[in-house]
Structure 1
């Protein structure tokens, strides 16, 4: 019996796990003290207690598991692998779908997934059934009890192998999808903005590799953004194996702020900018590289600079013109006195007299001085002129003999007129000045022998021509061309040739007023001038003078060969400068006229009334104290009906024009004038039909 007890104790000892081996001692004691029945009863009760405690522990674990499932906000489902019937659903699933637990346990996944059929679902979970995969993940749609739909992300796995169950965890991705759509929309809008920019833009990393490129960059560099990605920027832009000098990226990498450079490629100009990209710690990680085509801006700036230069040139010309105009009156008055008395003195000497020769030199110098004044006034467009309608070919032909003497025998002068050119309205003396200045310049540009060509033709310009050539005007023009085969001019010289006092000639061989005079005359007559020249290839001046449409041609009056004398006519002479008054009176009296002279226009009115009906001609200065010559003439007319008037002035055209003196049919003689010129003009006025 004892042996059987010991054997049973050993069995129990070996049968129970380590924590329960204390039962061995009890079993042995019971075996030794009282019998097998008691022992068996003990162990039966013990096993029953263990089973009860196990079930209780399992229930507690199940309860805790259920609580964990319900605590999750995600939907959790456990369903049978064969019938697909839900065996467990958590509170989150019921709340999201709107069903009760009891309703859910009567349903399958197919009841809440409108996008699945039994076949498609079986195909989806087939890798789990076969053991090919432990878990699958997919996106699907759930349908609530009220019929509304919402997106979920499903994670499904096989829970057990014996009586297989599927466990599915569903994540509501409504907010995530909305966020993804918002991000996608923002990205698309950013890309649209990125591509809509007319500037070529690259996003570069710290090694100057292209990360992104917009459409403008694709067009500029003729590559797709995908093809450019990862390439070094300067290899794409410049085709070089190293960055260009003054690369804005490298400068921005050092300065950590925007850097720019201007770059010319062919006829286009670009502004290249690099804006640094910094991380949270302020470290350089790359740059936004922007290429802006600034060709139009550069052209506009150059055009503005050109206009500014022209404006400054105009101001300079105006300043010199004001200076010339300011001194012209007094200067011409003094020249009038010098030339007048010299002319009177010449009449009293014999040609072979030494004094006669000296006086002729004085007269020659005075005339040269008068020419300089006229040049200044012509350049400033303030020259007093008497324009008339003429045929340019006839005017030039009358000058050819003089021009050939001017340029010398070594230079061939070629005249190439176009027949039947349009008439123009210009003072003939201005044509003389233009041709004389251009031919002298051409002569000086030729070394030894050479050729000067003068040609005329007609040309018309429309608005389209003016859009292409900025310095022309629409209309019909007669074109005068003067060309030479001399040394030519470089661009720097061409830019300055019309400036007053600019000259390339040696000291003492040029005043710098010749071309300025030509320019002033052309502008004064509403024309324009172009110059074409290259070093060693000669020069061509093209002058465009507007066509006259009045169809009125005036005949030239032949210059008198002798000095016309008076027939005792009475002349009222009014001049505020005492020297000129004295000189003019003496000249007129020597010519045979009766002269009533005064330096006061108010006194002249009284003299006119006193000699009413006796005065044949009023010769008056234009600008005088108290009253100008025009008003004096008007106020004398009632007392001297039919009174003819000859105006004279040393002022420039702009000063006297607004007083009406230069109106058509008004007689005018500019100072300084010679006795011969005064005699001819007085006879012309006296014999004219107009008062």
Structure 2
């Protein structure tokens, strides 16, 4: 080899080492697999290293498609596209998998470039093993050698250690050193690699890269990796220095680390949990568990992984055994298939709790990545919300009022409960809030509501809540229903109406009950007034009848005044009868209620009617054979039937029929006919019907008022129906009435009797039996009416009794306390200062008299049970006859004799 200085200076120029010669030497000494491909990827030739590495004879590969026969994998396909492109996109680099003749796949770094000396744009493809490189003989074709040297993926310097000079360099090396070839050749290698000793190159293992810095002509240091390959050129030992620029990799690594730091920061700030897991394999290569390689704070909190222990955490440690096994199978499936798996809700049991998560699993490298969100609290809220929705649905379904909800954003899907659908006769699929009630809702006069006055439309027009309790719902084939309708707006955050809710309340029964209550209160007020009047009448009648009876007893029947006295007694009897009716109307009579069979009483009343009314009117009786016994007072029942029948007689002109019926009936709580003060149960209904002219509504509204009558003056008292009303209330029943063009029907509803009820019955009087009811006992008469005291005292004195009088309870108690020698106290219940009830109570508490007889024409809200509880031994209603007085006094004295001291 001729080595001489150039004429231009002392720099050594090794002209004999041209690039073609250097390339051929590299091919001869290198272990690179070289393939010459034509433009469609078919193999034209290959060097002997191919046989050594892959087992193929080079001649057997000629004509085969390199990418179809030898290479596999995604990178191989990409490289094939670049080589076969028109024009080819070269140079190109890729790491591909090559399949050997024995089927074993090996990994290679491949570089494809144009052959500058080839024909038809041939491609030189060099494959360098991904593992350790050893020297191999290469093909020596000039084109392959030149392509290998010039188009190598790294900068290549030829260095002779004996001289320490650069003998040759490729284009990438010149670019890295920032100089031209003529300026580089002959330079000291130590200038280029100041931190790399020659000895380290000679002793470095083959294929081992040494990281150092290369100084460019400008003095800038570039991080590089140097790999030395020993070659012999012309009998001299040289080194091919493969120099890889690390600056891009270092920048990429720095950027990667910064990106990873930013990514980790972002992951750490996520609300949702994020984890990376890698498989832990057993001795046979199977997956036995997954270990956590990363978990952000949200994941550690959700999975109860302590800070700093993520690397030691695993599925089997974080979750219960069954849950860990299930997740392991899911993760293994994702790794095999590469398909993501998503769980909207999955229960994952942990040692300390059972939690619900939303989970997404995807493949990540050799493991899996999961994102998770703890849904336990939310699931609890949703479960509670679902429970509330079920409760609300049940509440709406069982509400006795109709509910109609419409969202104006989705008006085609209103919500109605069953009561609303029953009232409106339609479901949500056919109801439109704009026309809800059209043709069905009317005012109380029966006039249909126009569309603008329909409930929802009215609210939208007024922009405020709507309420109307004066409407009725009229559906064909159904009875009118009285409604109380309220519609309320539901507003959004801006105050606009977003929805509306209407409540339809059926108040038909309530209105009827209010009418009954109003009637009852009116009757109670009028009855109280009538009772007060009757009390005064009774006192006057008692004085008159008593005086007349005393006068009559003192005269012979032949006396001229005897007839006048009898006439006066008849007039007093009429006054007594009138007061009895007034007291019945005011419910102040003390009568005996009992369980009795109504049939005989009805028959007796019918017989009486047939003998007294016009013969053109037929009286018919229809009593059910199985009619129950009823709680009634016989006298009140017959009186009520007579009053109703006589009114029916007056309503019939000419021929007609009066029918008295008795039937069993059972009422439930929802029955409209049931009176508001009476409970559900069994009743006996006794009705009196006529074929008369009937009554208009304005008359029916007042028929039970005392003194109200449509008869001419002098033809009636106006007390008949009010007495019937009071009689029924007194025995716990009520009166129903219907009237039309075909006549009127009054129905008396009596409670079904369960047994005999013993009550103190009212004395009806008895004939005067002088000389048989007298005595000599001591009697105290207490009354605030002087006339009554005088008459009763005189009569009892004439009968042999020792009589004292007192005008009120205070005076009576003072007398009894001075000397309790009275055998019987006869006292009025209604007196000033101290009434009769308080007086009786004091007498019994202090044991001032053995016998007490109460008397009154006005009970003042007391019944017989109350009087008995207070201590009264008997009751004498006013007005009474003198014979009744002496009989009651004698009977009670005999029943309660004074004990001898």
Q: TM-score range by the shorter chain?
A: 0.5 to 0.7
Q: State the match for 1:574 in structure 2.
A: 781
Deviation of the 1:254 alpha carbon: 5.7
- Please name the residue that 2:719 is paired with: 513
Q: Which residue of 1 aligns with 2:219?
A: none
The structure having more radius of gyration, on CA atoms, is 2
Judge conservation of contact 1:530–1:542 (CA < 8 Å) in 2.
yes
Query: Do 1:204 and 1:289's aligned partners in 2 also have CA atoms closer than 8 Å?
Result: yes
Partner of 1:669: 876
Which of 532, 544, 549 aligns to 2:750? It is 544
Residues 352 and 408 of structure 1, relative CA distance in 2, 3 Å threshold = farther
Q: Deviations over 1:455-509 (max 9, x none)?
A: 445x374xx7345463354566554332222223455554544344444444554
Count of residues in Structure 1 that have an aligned counterpart in Structure 2: 516
2:436/2:454 contact within 8 Å kept: no
Deviation at 1:439, TM superposition (A): 1.8
Q: How far, CA to CA, are the matches of 1:289 and 1:444 in structure 2?
A: 61
- Residue 213 (str. 1) matches residue 423 (str. 2): no
**Alpha-carbon separation, structure 2, partners of 1:250 and 1:555:** 65
Taking the aligned partners of 1:635 and 1:147, their CA distance within structure 2 comes to 101
Matched, 1:341 2:547: yes
Name which of 298, 301, 311 aligns with 2:506: 298
Match of 1:106 in 2: none
User: What displacement does 1:291 show?
Assistant: 6.1
Cα distance change, pair 566–626 in 1 and its aligned pair in 2 (3 A): farther
Superposed CA offset, 1:361-414 (max 9, x none)? 544443333333322322332212244665544444455554345534332223
1:441 equivalent in alignment to 2:647:
yes
The question of whether the paired residues in 1 share the 8 Å contact of 2:857 and 2:879 is answered with yes
* Equivalent-residue separation in structure 2 for 1:659 and 1:551 (angstroms): 16
**Cα deviations by residue, 1:511-541 (Å, 9 ceiling, x for unpaired):** 4432222222222223344334333233142
For residues 422 and 465 of structure 1, what CA distance do their matches in structure 2 show? Answer: 18
**Equivalent residue for 1:414, pick from 614, 620, 642:** 620
Residues 591 and 761 in structure 2, CA contact (< 8 A), matched pair in contact too: no
Report the alpha carbon displacement of residue 434 of structure 1 after superposing the two structures with TM.
Answer: 1.6
Q: Contact 2:704/2:725 (CA < 8 Å) preserved in 1?
A: yes
Residue 667 to residue 251, structure 1, CA distance change in 2 (3 Å): closer
Judged with a 3 Å threshold, the aligned counterparts in structure 2 of structure 1 residues 304 and 473 are, in CA distance, closer, same or farther, namely: closer
Output the TM-score relative to the length of structure 1.
0.56
Structure 1 residue 661 displacement after superposition: 4.8
The question of whether the paired residues in 1 share the 8 Å contact of 2:544 and 2:572 is answered with yes
Distance of 2:640 and 2:828 partners within structure 1:
29
Cα gap change, 1:394 to 1:290, in 2 (>3 Å): same
The verdict on how the C-alpha distance between 1:143 and 1:274 changes in structure 2, with shifts beyond 3 A counting, is same
Number of the residue aligned with 1:108: none
Shift of 1:337: 0.8
Tell me if 1:465 matches 2:668.
yes
Report the alpha carbon displacement of residue 580 of structure 1 after superposing the two structures with TM: 0.6
Query: Judging changes above 3 Å, is the alpha-carbon distance between structure 1 residues 646 and 627 closer, same or farther for their aligned structure 2 residues?
Result: same
Are residues 1:382 and 2:381 paired?
no
Kindly indicate which of the two structures has a greater share of residues assigned to strand. Answer: 2
Distance 1:246 1:421, change over 3 A: closer
Matches of 2:705 and 2:835, distance apart in 1: 38
Contact 1:329 1:651 in 2 (8 A): yes
The residue that corresponds to 1:565 in the other structure is 770
Give yes or no for contact 1:384–1:653 (8 Å, CA) kept in 2: no
Where 2:743 maps in the other structure, the secondary structure is: coil
Q: 1:244 to 1:418 in 2, by over 3 A?
A: closer
What is the CA distance between 1:638 and its match in structure 2? 8.6
Q: 1:370 aligns with which of 573, 576, 586?
A: 576
Contact 2:491 2:499 in 1 (8 A): no
Q: Secondary structure of 1:454's partner?
A: strand
| Rounded Cα–Cα distance in structure 2 between residues aligned with 1:293 and 1:99 | 62
Which of these residues, 430, 451, 458, is aligned with residue 244 of structure 1?
451
Q: Distance in 2 between matches of 1:224 and 1:80?
A: 66
Query: What is the CA distance between 1:144 and its match in structure 2?
Result: 6.6
* Residue pair 1:526, 1:546 contacting (<8 A) in 2 also: no
Give the 3-state SS of the residue equivalent to 2:659 in structure 1.
strand
Cα distance change of structure 1 residues 348 and 410 upon mapping to structure 2, 3 Å threshold: farther
In the TM superposition, what is the alpha-carbon distance from 1:579 to its structure 2 partner? 0.6
**Given the superposition, is the C-alpha separation of residues 540 and 361 from structure 1 closer, same or farther in structure 2, using an over 3 Å criterion?**
same
* Alpha-carbon distance in structure 1 between the residues aligned to 2:439 and 2:748: 46
In 2, are the aligned partners of 1:98 and 1:146 still within 8 Å (CA)? Answer: no
User: Which residue, out of 583, 586, 602, partners 2:791?
Assistant: 583
Greater mean alpha carbon deviation, residues 648-657 or residues 578-587: 648-657
On the 8 A contact 1:452/1:484 being kept in 2, the answer is yes
Q: Partners in 1 of 2:841 and 2:648 — Cα distance?
A: 47
Report the equivalent of 1:30.
none
Task: Describe the SS at the equivalent of 1:488.
Answer: coil
Distance in 1 (alpha carbons) for counterparts of 2:428 and 2:603: 69
Map of 1:596 onto structure 2: 802
Tell me: CA distance 1:681–1:488, structure 2 relative to 1, closer, same or farther (3 Å).
farther
Shift of 1:670: 0.8
Aligned partner of 1:160 in structure 2 is none
CA distance in 1, matches of 2:601, 2:536: 33
Query: Shift in Å at residue 585 of structure 1?
Result: 3.3
Q: Deviations over 1:128-168 (max 9, x none)?
A: xxxxxxxxxxxxx99776967699xxxxxxxxxxxxxxxxx
Q: Secondary structure at the match of 2:576?
A: helix
**8 A Cα contact 1:619 1:645, kept in partner:** yes
Per-residue deviation at 1:650?
3.1
Indicate conservation of the 8 Å contact 1:422/1:548, yes or no. Answer: no
Cα deviation for residue 83 of structure 1 reads 4.8
2:653 corresponds to 1:453: no
Q: Secondary structure at the match of 2:694?
A: coil
Change (3 A) 1:303 1:597: same
Distance 1:445 1:490 in 2: 13
Structure 1: distance between partners of 2:464 and 2:595? 68
Q: Distance in 1 between matches of 2:461 and 2:763?
A: 82
Q: Which residue does 2:7 correspond to in 1?
A: none
Report the Cα distance in structure 1 between the residues aligned to 2:593 and 2:459, rounded to whole angstroms. 66
Give the Cα separation in 1 of the matches to 2:845 and 2:436. Answer: 85
1:654 aligns with 2:861: yes
Matched residue SS, 1:594: coil
Match for residue 52 of structure 2? none
Change (3 A) 1:252 1:382: closer
Q: Give 2:733's match in structure 1, choosing from 527, 532, 545.
A: 527
Residue 82 of structure 1 aligns with which residue? 81
